[in-house]
């Protein structure tokens, strides 16, 4: 299975991942090669197999609904690229 | 002092042969002397000396644990409070972690000394430590070869004695493969045995932290501190932790070893096959029985892994958006530009490749064909192991197809690089514990023997490794120039 440069551009858009124009071709080639490797999976019939999402087949553990975390808001915001008055700043979204 | 085992170091500290400050300074000097290996991203010299002084005070008071005063280093994937935690990426080059990973917290409570943060493949994605934003790590056995990855800094640091021991993480072989290439002992525990809280996520259903040390005896001490239930990690398993050192000397008489014929096919390098045969003969002498087992679905482990891991990675790494922490691009024109350029500029090529691959595998129209199919194959591979482990106690095999390859040799070809994980990734898909121990040399480069056990049998794996290390000395060899 092979991808086109347009496919890669579309996938990169879905992932909000900037890719330099001059690199599109090499990603297209690499991803197509990786997809070829993936097609080996279709050799095997898996019709009656349950998908395995987790090695332990665990049930989600629940906990008592009490506050366990401290409020570290200032510490967490101190490492933000841009923050002011307790808010994270981003470019204007609404005109 | 750097040649001593953890037990010998603990004894030396307790009997006053040397102080933790002296020991720590000794390791800091070695780190400086050998900085061209590029094993460390951050050396926390001041913190190390403070930790050592606190440990010396604790030693005087007699409040000692096995790791009190011992200088160790953390893979830079574990969050360390107020210390840069980069995960080998430009994306987190400016990230000062606001909290400690549970594993780091446990080492702090044990009184261990924090030497610094070890180099790694970017976001743990790589098998050679060449994808790090901070540059490749060199293998102390031959500086033109890779140390393996993704815990390449950990492998190189322990091998070159730039730390008494280290932590690593293993998503598809990232503890075992560098352990094999660097001639040390590395254990990937059962999924859920070691807390993942504060361990930066790559593929959450596969990631597991573990010890990287000079011997099984040292790894047992390290795992004792790392293992255990953590309410902060929802996939942590609530099972009591055995004493990992207690059973190290148990006899191996009657041990049933399985050799998967799929591991020992004609594809296996003949030098590697010969080394493994010699190692397995040692086990025969120790009283083990050896038989062939078959795991027919193993051959599909690579395609299944390279769907599942990138799919989980594409979801996990969506948190890096340039808004709350980490890298942000200059002068974004709007929010979309901020996301797209911050991520495009902050991530390296291999990380981008896996995000793209995972995004594709999870996208409408392809989800069933790739992601669900891979999860079904994951079940079949896991069943293969379950079946084999009813016939035998442990499975043995190679860790890597060849000894360490050259720096630059495989980096241009991602598929060639992925194939170097062929013997390790199936174990992560199944969630089983496995370790790598040194089992000889090919062309002066170390090779590893992999031992895979049933769920939560880390104690037995360490016992089996330790018994081998009682009758061989491969684990005691030191690379030239680092004695």
pLDDT digits (tens, 9 = 90+) for B378-391: 999 999 999 999 99
Q: How high is the ipTM of this complex?
A: 0.95
pTM: 0.97
DSSP output for B122-138:
GGG--SSS-S-TT-PPP
Tens digits of residue pLDDT in B258-315: 999 999 988 889 999 999 999 999 999 999 999 999 999 999 999 999 999 999 999 9
Tell me whether B345 touches chain A (CB under 8 Å).
Answer: yes
Contacts of residue A82 in chain B, CB cutoff 8 Å?
A: 328
Q: Please list, in sequence order, all residues whose beta carbon lies within 8 angstroms of the beta carbon of residue A18, skipping any fewer than 6 positions away.
A: A12, B340, B341, B343, B344, B345
Sequence-distant (6+) residues with CB within 8 A of A62 are none
Question: In this complex, which of B299, B332, B357 lies closest to A91 when CB atoms are compared?
Answer: B332
Considering only the beta carbons, identify the residue of B322, B332, B377 that sits closest to A46.
B377
Q: DSSP 3-state assignment of B256?
A: strand
- Judging contacts by C-beta atoms under 8 Å, the chain A residues touching residue B324 are 76, 80, 88
Query: Is B303 in Cβ contact with A41 (below 8 Å)?
Result: yes
- Tell whether the model's pLDDT for residue A1 goes beyond 80: no
Instruction: Indicate whether B94 pLDDT > 70.
Output: yes
The minimum CA-CA distance between A48 and chain B, rounded to whole Å, is: 9
Cα separation values, A70 from A76, B117, B123, Å:
12, 26, 28
Interface test with B, best of A1, A12, A32, A38 (most B CBs within 10 A): A38
Using DSSP's 3-state secondary structure scheme, residue B76 falls into coil
Band (B354; pLDDT cuts 50, 70, 90): very high
**Tell me, what's the pLDDT at A63?**
85
CB contact under 8 A, A91 and B328: no
Instruction: Tell me what the mean pLDDT of segment B213-237 comes to.
Output: 96
User: DSSP letters of B344-403?
Assistant: HHHS-HHHHHHHHHHHHHHSTTTHIIIIIHHHHHHHHHHHHHHHHHHH-SEEEEESSSSS
Confidence band of A61 (pLDDT split at 50, 70, 90): confident
* Percent of chain B whose pLDDT exceeds 70: 100
| Model confidence band, residue A95 (pLDDT cutoffs 50, 70, 90) | confident
The answer to whether residue B4 scores a pLDDT higher than 90 is: yes
To which residue do tokens 């998967």 refer?
B260
Q: Do A40 and B352 touch (CB under 8 A)?
A: no
Range of the domain at B388: 1-483
- Summarize pLDDT for B402-428 with one digit per residue, the tens: 999 999 999 999 998 999 899 999 999
**Gap from B191 CA to chain A (nearest CA, Å):** 7
Whether the CB of A67 is below 8 Å from some CB of chain B: the reply is no
Residues B32-86 pLDDT 10s: 999 999 999 999 999 999 999 999 999 999 989 999 999 999 999 999 999 999 9
Q: Residue B445's pLDDT is what? A: 98
Distance in Å, alpha carbon of B340 to nearest chain A alpha carbon: 5
Orientation angle between helical segments B301-316 and B349-362, nearest 10 degrees? 100
H or E segment to which residue B97 belongs: none
Q: What is the mean pLDDT of chain B?
A: 97
Mean pLDDT of B87-91: 98
Q: Stretch B196-202: mean pLDDT, rounded?
A: 98
Identify any residues that bridge with A87 across adjacent strands, giving them in sequence order: A84
Specify whether the CB–CB gap between B257 and B392 falls below 8 A.
Answer: yes
User: Chain B neighbours among A 6-35 (CB < 8 Å)?
Assistant: 7-8, 11-12, 14-20, 23, 27, 30-31, 33-34
B197 touches chain A (CB under 8 A): no
Q: Which residues of B are catalytic?
A: 75, 150, 174
Quick check: A69 pLDDT over 90?
no
- Which pLDDT belongs to residue B267? 82
The predicted pLDDT at position B188 comes to 98
Residue B84: what pLDDT? 98
pLDDT value at residue A53? 87
CA distance A61 to A63: 7
CB contact under 8 A, B380 and A46: yes
Chain B nearest CA to A29, separation (Å): 11
Closest partner residue to B325 (CB to CB) among A27, A30, A80 is A80
| Contacts of the segment B329-334: beta carbons below 8 A, 24+ positions apart | B332/A90, B332/A91, B333/A91, B334/A91, B334/A92, B334/A93
Residues in B 226-285 with any Cβ partner in A closer than 8 A = 231, 234-235, 237-238
Average the pLDDT over B21-34 and give the result.
98
Interface membership of A62 toward B (CB under 8 Å): no
Number of domains in chain B: 1
Examine the pLDDT at B444 and tell me if it is beyond 90.
yes
Share of chain B above pLDDT 90, in %: 97
pLDDT given for residue B123 in this prediction: 98
- For B84, which residue in chain A has the nearest alpha carbon? A79
User: Does residue B483 register a pLDDT over 80?
Assistant: yes
CA distance B305 to chain A (A): 10
pLDDT at residue B265 in the model: 86
Q: Do A56 and B237 touch (CB under 8 A)?
A: yes
User: How far is B110 from chain A, CA to nearest CA, in Å?
Assistant: 23
pLDDT at B58: 97
CATH of the domain at B387: 3.90.1300.10
Q: Find the residue in B nearest to A89 (Cα).
A: B323
Chain B interface includes A75 (CB < 8 A): yes
Give me the mean pLDDT over the B328-347 stretch: 97
Question: Per-residue pLDDT tens for B147-181?
Answer: 999 999 999 999 999 999 999 999 999 999 999 99
């Amino acid at each position: 299975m092979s991808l086109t440069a347009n496919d890669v551009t579309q996938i990169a858009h879905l992932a909000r991942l900037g890719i330099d124009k001059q690199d599109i071709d090499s990603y297209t080639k690499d991803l197509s090669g990786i997809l070829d490797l993936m097609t080996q999976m279709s050799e095997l019939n898996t019709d009656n197999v349950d998908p395995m999402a987790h090695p332990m087949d665990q049930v989600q553990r629940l906990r008592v609904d009490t506050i366990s975390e401290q409020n570290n808001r200032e510490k967490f915001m101190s490492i933000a690229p841009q923050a002011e008055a307790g808010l994270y700043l981003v470019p204007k979204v609404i005109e | 002092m750097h040649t001593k085992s953890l037990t010998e170091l603990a004894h030396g500290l307790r009997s006053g042969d040397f102080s933790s400050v002296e020991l720590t300074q000794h390791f800091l000097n070695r780190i400086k002397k050998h900085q061209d290996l590029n094993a460390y991203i951050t050396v926390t010299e001041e913190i190390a000396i403070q930790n050592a002084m606190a440990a010396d005070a604790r030693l005087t008071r007699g409040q000692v644990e096995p790791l009190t005063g011992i200088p160790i280093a953390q893979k830079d994937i574990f969050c360390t409070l107020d210390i840069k935690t980069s995960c080998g990426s430009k994306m987190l080059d400016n990230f000062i972690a606001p909290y400690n990973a549970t594993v780091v917290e446990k080492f702090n409570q044990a009184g261990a000394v924090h030497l610094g943060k070890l180099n790694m493949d970017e976001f743990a994605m790589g098998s050679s430590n060449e994808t790090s934003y901070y540059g490749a790590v060199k293998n102390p056995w031959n500086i033109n070869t890779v140390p393996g990855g993704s815990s390449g800094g950990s492998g190189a640091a322990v091998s070159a004695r730039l730390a008494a021991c280290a932590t690593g993480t293993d998503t598809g072989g990232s503890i075992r493969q560098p352990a094999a290439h660097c001639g040390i002992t590395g254990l990937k525990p059962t999924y859920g045995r070691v807390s993942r809280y504060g361990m930066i996520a790559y593929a959450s259903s596969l990631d597991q932290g573990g010890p990287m040390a000079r011997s099984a005896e040292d790894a047992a001490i390290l795992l004792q501190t790392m293992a255990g239930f953590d309410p902060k990690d929802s996939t942590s398993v609530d099972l009591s932790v055995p004493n990992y050192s207690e059973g190290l000397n148990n006899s191996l008489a009657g041990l049933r070893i399985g050799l998967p014929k799929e591991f020992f096919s004609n594809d296996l390098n003949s030098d590697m096959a010969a080394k493994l045969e010699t190692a397995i003969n040692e086990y025969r002498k120790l009283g083990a029985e050896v038989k062939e087992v078959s795991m027919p679905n193993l051959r599909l482990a690579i395609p299944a892994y390279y769907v599942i891991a990138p799919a989980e990675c594409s979801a996990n790494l969506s948190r890096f958006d340039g808004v709350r922490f980490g890298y942000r691009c200059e002068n974004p024109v709007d929010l979309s530009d901020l996301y797209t350029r911050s991520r495009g500029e902050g991530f390296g090529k291999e990380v981008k490749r896996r995000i793209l691959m995972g995004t594709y595998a999870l996208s409408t129209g392809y989800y069933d064909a790739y992601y669900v199919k891979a999860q079904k194959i994951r079940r079949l591979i896991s069943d293969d192991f379950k079946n084999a482990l009813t016939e035998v106690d442990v499975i043995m095999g190679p860790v890597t197809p060849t000894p360490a390859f050259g720096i630059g040799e495989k980096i241009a070809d991602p598929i060639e690089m992925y194939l170097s994980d062929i013997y390790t990734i199936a174990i992560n898909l199944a969630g089983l514990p496995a370790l790598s121990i040194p089992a000889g040399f090919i062309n002066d480069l170390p090779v590893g023997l992999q031992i895979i056990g049933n769920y939560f049998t880390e104690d037995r794996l360490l016992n089996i490794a330790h018994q081998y290390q009682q009758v061989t000395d491969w684990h005691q060899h030191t690379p030239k120039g680092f004695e």
